[in-house]
Amino acid sequence: MKGHGALAVFVDRDGVINVNRADHVRTWSDLEFLPGALDGLALLTRSGCQVVVVTNQAIVNRGVVARDVVDRIHERMVAEIERQGGAIRAVLLCPHRPDEGCDCRKPAPGLLIDAAARLGIDASDALMIGDHPDDLEAARRAGCSSILLLSGRTRERPPEDELPTGCLAVLPGLLQAARFVTGSVSEGEPQRILVGAR
């Protein structure tokens, strides 16, 4: 990251902000914030970071949930984040199924490139926080740094040679990632697992 001013942080949704459900988030009542996620988003906001949510939601094109329902869930999610002191600049989603071959479904970098354009920055000036190797690969392709969380689909630290270039750390959750990004790690907090020079 070589930019100036507020850092741009791209954040995955399921497994990062809320619990990743096998049966998907179909209604507002299905969305359960992960412990520390709201505090982490508030910390990023207080530190001047611009936060954009970037999420794959193939349930739309699979016909499981209508796009307008997903949009309303996101509106309520953002409102709750704001009530807790956070701010979300935008929520960008890919509605496509994997077989559709789009350029926005992670690990493709389209969502991240779109997010950077909306913020008027270079993608290399941003950081991606995700819970799956696809998030990290999208970041690599977009030229972003990344952090892998163990709060969703990934539960154990992958071997270092499986982590893509640009992955800075492997952390338990979004609050720890926010502290890492902002340099406000608390004494006694579980130590972050730093990735070696890459």
Task: Give the separation between CA 14 and CA 34, rounded to whole angstroms.
Answer: 9
3-class secondary-structure state, position 56: strand
**196 DSSP 8-state letter:** P
Task: Give the separation between CA 193 and CA 163, rounded to whole angstroms.
Answer: 13
**Which has the closest alpha carbon to 109: 68, 145, 141?**
141
Task: Give the separation between CA 79 and CA 173, rounded to whole angstroms.
Answer: 21
Give me the active site residues, please: 12, 14
Task: Give the separation between CA 68 and CA 63, rounded to whole angstroms.
Answer: 12
